[in-house]
């Protein structure tokens, strides 16, 4: 096993530890890197969702499937759902994660809202007993 000694003191006499991000408050006083920020806000986004579905008794018309007793009372179910939500804030795109408190750069919130939409398709079997 190779062991290497590392000197963490730079020529100015400061240690690298002094320049690391340190938010401890063990001494009872915040360090030069400790900070806090609070803000609250409320936003309501409009939402629209529509589902269309159909059940088709097609198994009795397909040659091989009409002879299967498991599909005797089954129907094919097809569906589509559309969902739209307006003015949604994405946390991954709204928070600027770059931070270096020693240089005066802290986490920032830049809310960017955009529309969110999705399509869903579903296929299934419906049995009546």
pLDDT in tens, 64-104: 888 888 888 899 999 999 999 999 888 777 777 777 766 77
Structural tokens at position 126: 């419906």
pTM of the model: 0.56
Q: Which structure tokens are listed for 65? A: 């499937």
Phi, psi of 90 (to 5 degrees): -95, 115
Domain ranges for the chain, please list them. Answer: 43-127
Q: At 36, is the pLDDT very low, low, confident or very high (cuts 50, 70, 90)?
A: low
pLDDT recorded at residue 52: 97
Tell me the backbone φ, ψ of residue 51, rounded to 5 degrees.
-120, 130
Q: Tell me what pLDDT residue 70 has.
A: 85
CB atoms within 10 A of CB 74: 19
Q: What is the dihedral of CA 119, 124, 128, 129, to 10 degrees?
A: -130
């Amino acid at each position: 096993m190779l062991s290497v000694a590392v000197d963490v003191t730079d020529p100015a006499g400061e240690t690298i530890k002094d320049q690391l991000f340190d938010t401890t408050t063990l001494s009872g006083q915040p360090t030069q890197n400790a900070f806090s920020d609070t803000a609250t806000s409320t936003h309501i986004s409009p939402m629209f969702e529509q589902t269309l579905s159909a059940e088709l008794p097609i198994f009795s018309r397909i040659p091989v499937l009409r002879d299967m007793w498991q599909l005797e009372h089954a129907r094919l179910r097809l569906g589509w759902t559309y969902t739209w939500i307006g003015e949604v804030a994405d946390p991954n795109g709204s928070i600027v994660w770059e931070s270096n408190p020693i240089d005066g750069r802290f986490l920032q919130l830049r809310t960017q809202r955009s529309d969110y939409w999705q399509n869903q398709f579903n296929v299934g079997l419906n049995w009546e007993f």
